[in-house]
Structure 1
Amino acid sequence: MSKTPIWKSIALSLTSDIAEGRYGTGDRLPTEAQLAASHGVNRHTVRRALSELADQGLVHARRGAGVFVTAQPTDYPIGKRVRYHKSISASGKIPGKRILTLTTRAADQAEAEALQLDPGDPVHVYDGLSLANGLPIGLFQSIFPANRFPDILTILTETRSVTKALQRCGVEDYTRISTRLTARAATATQTLHLNLSEGAPVLHSLGINADPEGRPVEFGRTVFAGERVTLTISES
């Protein structure tokens, strides 16, 4: 088994320090010389680690002043009634969504089971990116029963909001009835969309949302950038 490069270990250590609040937004990191001494490496190795954090949007360098923290990982709650825009706004950041594709196709086995459909029944699929302050934090796919919500893709084009789209389709409220989380390494496609390094940690989330009568209205798959998001458990 190949060993993790030293520069990547330093980058992960610094990311952890930022995530745990040892360095807040706007704080200056230790100098290259200080980091090199504390990790027992040369400055070139430290520079490679800092470049990795800069590529991820976590830090930025100011000529003659040092390297400063750009942003801390975004807190994102996982609970019964979580709304993306509200949650990101509550963390002090600007939420956003970017549409990648909107399609209609036949449901596979897992999608049919989650939405209480028959395999092959039509589903509408919304693929997109979740943003916080313009930085991608999640690659998501939302799947809806097409026969129940025939116009939802058109509405999503206008609103980019699942909550608003479901409301316009007659679903005033919905709650999360199941969530499954798995940690993995990012694939090539995920690294491209999320602007991550190859093999970076990501969190896979599978969730089912249902209306007040318990009928599933959305099956969601999301890949969160592990270095940019802190998932929290919420009871609401």
Structure 2
Amino acid sequence: MESGIERRSGVALWRQIADDIRAAIGNGVYDATGKLPTEAALAAQFDVNRHTVRQALAALARDGVVRTVQGRGTELLPRARVSYPIGARTRFSAGLGGQVAKAATRFLETATEPASEEVARALALAPQTPVLRLETVGAADGTALSRATHWFDAARFAELPAHCAQSGSITHALKACGVGDYKRLSTEISAAPASRTDREDLGLQAGAVVLLTTSVNADQDGVPIQMSRSRFAADRVTLSVRNAPESGDRDGTGNGDG
């Protein structure tokens, strides 16, 4: 693993080292051994003293990423990930079915705004057409997994926020607005460092990575009804792309964000 620390960046060296190690763990660099190199080896790798390395390891231990065991070195702590399917019918809780005891969606904010060019194009609307924006957090067993922004045609789905508040489900709210079923038209997947908002809403530490999905759903007539941009905590979720459409995959409490 190459050292990416910068000595004049204004960020403490131990923090940069902790972030580099965290990223390496996320990329599976240490999976073969299940533990980190020795303090001396890390000090040599990052060209710092062992005290700085100890500070980095202490920060990772506080975050529940590693633990130091006398005589065995610094071990990686296993972190359970859920597999989240991306397919023709993607629903939050249905996708997590069998992996968690409870999946839930929390609605953070609702607003009406002019459609950006990207949103207008995705929803087949004229630019600046009023759209409804919903901000949500999807959680499993009390742990936040995703932070999402959803857009809908404000004229067609004026009652959607009220139905979301009542049911706690975008899927149920869409059904109440006359959309009995919907399918995924497209999904784009990428990755990026977690933003400050991501860290706050998902409870992530500095240096964390999120998986980004931008998706468009359409009703049974093929008319686009929803564009979503979701950020998944990369150390908690694995995105699994399904090639074949699923049949009968209905959701009770899903947020339809991924």
The TM-score normalised by the length of structure 2 is 0.73
Tell me, yes or no, if the aligned pair for 1:206 and 1:222 is still in contact at 8 Å: yes
Q: Give the letter for the 1:46 counterpart.
A: L
1:84-123 equivalences in 2 (<5 Å): 84-123=92-131
Q: 1:1-236 alignment to 2 at 5 Å?
A: 3-4=4-5, 5-15=16-26, 36=38, 40=42, 44=54, 45-52=56-63, 54=64, 71-235=79-243, 236=246
* Distance in 1 between residues matched to 2:139 and 2:121, nearest whole Å: 29
Aligned partners of 1:11 and 1:50 also within 8 Å: no
**What's the % identity of the aligned pairs?**
28
CA shift in 2, pair 1:9/1:38, >3 Å: farther
Greater helix percent: which structure? Answer: 1
RCO (CA 8 Å, sep 6+): is it higher in 1 or 2? 2
Q: Within 2, Cα distance between the matches of 1:120 and 1:10?
A: 44
| Larger CA Rg, structure 1 vs 2 | 2
In structure 1, distance between residues paired with 2:173 and 2:118: 23
Describe the superposition over 1:107-156 as per-residue Cα deviations: whole angstroms up to 9, x where unpaired: 11111111111112111111011111211111101111111122011101
Counterpart of 1:120, as a letter, is Q
State the Cα distance separating 1:162 from its structure 2 match: 1.3
CA distance in 2, matches of 1:133, 1:16: 25
For the residue of structure 2 that corresponds to 1:90, the secondary structure is coil
CA 15–171 in structure 1, closer or farther in 2 if over 3 Å, else same = same
| Aligned Cα root-mean-square deviation (Å) | 3.0
Unaligned runs of 5+ in 2: 6-15, 44-49, 69-73, 247-258
Paired positions, count: 218
- Shift, 1:16, TM fit: 5.3
CA contact (8 A) 1:80 1:176 kept: yes
After TM superposition, the score normalised by the length of structure 1 is 0.79
CA shift, 1:171, in A, is: 0.9
CA distance in 1, matches of 2:233, 2:172: 25
